[in-house]
Amino acid sequence: MIVRSLNDLQDMGRVVSAEGWTSQRLLLQEDGMGFSMHDTIIEAGAVLEMHYKNHLEAVYCVEGEGNVFSVLTETNFPIQAGTIYALDQNDKHVLTATKTMRMICVFNPPLVGPESHDDEGAYPLLTAATPCEASV
């Protein structure tokens, strides 16, 4: 069984930030669950253009308010505590936080750890180096 809390993550190198967001990565690939799970803060006023081409992501809002815009269908969806959105088509989207949002994010395949957005708003598909690969 794995038991950990947000307080453990900084020392583990599992807190990743960029402009407008901080991702606290509770579960990663090395934990062996088949998904990663993050407690992510989106700052009020943030407008994030994202396109997770290599991952499926589900995002459950537990605090705050904002909206998510589907670029493909040109549709806006209001997001508040209790709302989930699932990017089941690797949907290109824009997330806007009108009040600071706290989101529980789940990625399949799981993130390895340091991933941050590239210039297309995607995360690279990383694989953790095995001890054998790491020593080559």
Ligand X SMILES: CC(=O)NCC[C@H](N)C(=O)O
Q: Which residues bind ligand X (CB under 6 A)?
A: 21, 23, 38, 40, 42, 48, 50, 59, 95, 103, 105
CB closer to ligand X, 9 vs 50: 50
For residues 59 and 112, which CB has a smaller minimum distance to ligand X in the complex? 59
Residue of minimal Cβ distance to ligand X: 23
Task: Give me the helices (H) in the chain, please.
Answer: 6-9, 131-134
Residue 19 vs 130, nearer CB to ligand X = 19
The least distance separating ligand X from the CB of residue 105, rounded to whole angstroms, comes to 4
Residue for token pair 């957005």? 117
* Dist. CA 90–CA 78, nearest whole Å: 19
Q: Positive or negative CA dihedral for 109, 96, 120, 11?
A: negative
